[in-house]
Amino acid sequence: MNNSKIINDPVFGFIKIPRGLLLDIVKHPLMQRLTRIKQLGLASVVYPGAQHTRFQHSIGAFHLMSEAITSLSQKGVFIFDSEAEAIEAAILMHDIGHGPFSHVLEDTLIHGISHEEISLMMMEKINANMDGRLNLAIKIFKNEYPKKFLHQLISSQIDMDRLDYLRRDCFFTGVTEGNIGSARIIKMLNVKDDNIVVESNGIYSIENYITTRRLMYWQVYLHKTAVACENVLVKALLRAKHLAKNNKNIFASPALHYFLYNNVDADFFNSHEEALRYYEELDDTDIWSALKVWMHSDDKILSLLASDILNRNIFKVEVHEENIPQERIEELEERISKALNISKEEAQYFICVDTIQKDMYDTNDASITILYKDGNTKDIVDASEILNIALLSKKIRKYYLCYQRI
């Protein structure tokens, strides 16, 4: 009998999923839900190819994890089979708690609880279904296991999650400059003093990885059009929530209805057991089908915001180097309220001010350590000739002003 299942992945080719615990996780309804959630949310308004899902990303991260385990084992790093299976299980499930358009959701329908916390709740739930077979995976995921380097493979400055999403996102967006040598980076990984390090031969690949991450953030993830589109969706959900609060009847699937008509924060989520059940049913489809109906709403504001998204009439965006003056915002409110014949207060649904800050390499975060042949180590910042510390720790901050085109 064949002891593994094969998935044909456009980025890495054939990926083997061993039968048993790992295949059981892949087949689990909570993992299958990720096939209905796009990895890059609304980035497809700029990059039409970005249609890949969080499920594909999870499978890719799992594949890289298997490669890393093989490579480290060949270098004499001792990893038990049970530990290998546990970190593969943990990386498979690392994104399981993401909602549709994840960050949009965290700002509108749910407050004070992150998708990481929800991921953990879902893992505990799957673990209960599987009679505790995920105990070790959860321990490593929470960084409560003595071998710290195993957790670093799941979450650090150079983990398998990042290595997959950078490769995958540049493949599907077509941003070819974003390609990183994930295979070479994995071959260069080693462990010293219970920490993941990169052998000095891999230094150029790491320099490329750090600059690529910066490029992908500004060119794809924080692309001004994608940010504007996301803001339209945030405003549409906030308007729907406002109407729900005022007892208006808003079309929504049962799962979306639950989050529109309840004020869900961390305490609410933890004290209502049905909250997780409804959350598990939420995916991109709930949002899209609601928008299609909202487009015909008799609420002028909701209807316009919904048709903006569906018909790609995206907010206009200005990117400023400094804070947007209050007069500019008031002037826009005035203009929009006149043009749409709505109050100034309502005009705020059509204006959004966003401050976006992204570090290229967070020097306060766990660093990337380079290991030399003589056994000495250096932080990548000190080891690299091209990445200087002043440049890297410089906070890049941009101010986005988005507003309805009149």
Q: Which amino acid is at 295?
A: M
Residue 363 is predicted with a pLDDT of: 61
Return the closest-CA partner of residue 370 out of 203, 204, 163, 213: 203
Q: Is the pTM of this model over 0.85?
A: yes
Residue 386 is predicted with a pLDDT of: 78
pLDDT, one tens digit per residue, over 246-269 is 999 999 999 999 999 999 999 999
Residue 156 is predicted with a pLDDT of: 93
Residue 360 is predicted with a pLDDT of: 63
Fold entry, domain 4-221: Hypothetical protein af1432 (1.10.3210)
Residue 263 is predicted with a pLDDT of: 95
**Collapsing DSSP states into helix, strand and coil, what is residue 317?**
strand
CA torsion 205→207→213→214, rounded to 10°?
Answer: -160
pLDDT, one tens digit per residue, over 58-92 is 999 999 999 999 999 999 999 999 999 999 999 99
* Parts of the chain with a pLDDT under 50: none
Residue 388 is predicted with a pLDDT of: 67
Residue 400 is predicted with a pLDDT of: 92
Q: Are strands 351-358 and 396-403 parallel, antiparallel or unpaired?
A: antiparallel
Q: Are 359 and 396 in contact (CB under 8 A)?
A: yes
Q: What are phi and psi of 185, to 5 degrees?
A: -60, -45
CA separation for the pair 72, 59 (Å, rounded): 20
Residue 177 is predicted with a pLDDT of: 79
From start to end of 112-261, where are the E strands?
189-192, 195-199
Residue 392 is predicted with a pLDDT of: 64
CA separation for the pair 37, 291 (Å, rounded): 16
Domain boundaries, the chain: 4-221, 224-357
Residue 80 is predicted with a pLDDT of: 97
Radius of gyration of the chain (CA): 23
Top CATH class, 224-357 = mainly alpha
Residue 273 is predicted with a pLDDT of: 92
Q: Which residues have C-beta within 8 Å of that of residue 157, sequence separation ≥ 6?
A: 361, 362, 365, 366, 367, 368
Q: Which residues have C-beta within 8 Å of that of residue 83, sequence separation ≥ 6?
A: 136, 140, 147, 150
